[in-house]
């Protein structure tokens, strides 16, 4: 069974990691009052970073609640997200959403992100076969 922990290796820790995702995301999933950006990381596990500013969610209690819910939802869905560096950006109004609705919303967003994974690039050196050439 896959580990469902949220250890240090499953977190984006440095500004450089966050910048890499912000500069060139390969996956983007807009949600209600938030945005999820993702970039392939070449690892066998996903990593999560959270951006919940005081401007978006005023009260520290609300920001901490949101972080706790996001981490928990990520932990439960990380088997779908293998190989991604993910940054969740909160927007105004997210702190007003109730816990059950947030959990459900995040479940859907993780699944959408997993579905939107770009297919591996086609090798440019391989010969291309067109149907009209045959």
Listed residue (95, 96, 104, 89) closest to 48, CA to CA: 89
Tell me which fold the domain 8-115 belongs to: Ribosomal Protein S5; domain 2 (3.30.230)
Q: What is the pLDDT of residues 43-71, one digit of tens each?
A: 888 999 999 999 999 999 999 999 999 99
Please check whether residue 90 is in contact with residue 12, taking contact to mean a CB–CB distance below 8 angstroms. no
**3-class secondary structure, 31:** strand
Torsional class of 26: left (φ above 0), alpha (ψ -120 to 50), beta (otherwise): alpha
DSSP for residue 129? -
Q: What is the pLDDT of residues 90-126, one digit of tens each?
A: 999 999 999 999 999 999 999 999 888 765 544 444 4
Q: What is the pLDDT of residue 58?
A: 93
In the block, residue with structure tokens 């090798």: 123
Q: What is the pLDDT of residue 43?
A: 86
The answer, as to whether pTM is greater than 0.85, is no
List phi, psi (to 5°) of 20: -60, -40
Count other Cβ atoms within 10 Å, centred on residue 70: 22
Angle, in degrees to the nearest 10, between helices 60-77 and 99-115: 40
């Amino acid at each position: 069974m896959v580990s469902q922990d949220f250890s240090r290796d499953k977190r984006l820790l440095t500004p450089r990691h966050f910048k890499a995702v912000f500069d060139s995301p390969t996956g983007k999933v807009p949600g209600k009052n938030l945005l999820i950006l993702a970039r392939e990381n070449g690892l066998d596990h996903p990593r999560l970073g959270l951006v919940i500013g005081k401007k978006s969610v005023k009260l520290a209690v609300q920001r901490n609640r949101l972080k706790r819910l996001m981490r928990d939802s990520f932990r439960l869905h990380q088997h779908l997200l293998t190989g991604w560096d993910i940054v969740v950006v909160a927007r105004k109004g997210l702190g007003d959403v109730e816990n059950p609705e947030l959990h459900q919303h995040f479940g859907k967003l993780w699944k959408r992100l997993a579905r939107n994974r770009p297919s591996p690039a086609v090798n440019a050196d391989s010969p291309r076969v067109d149907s009209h050439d045959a």
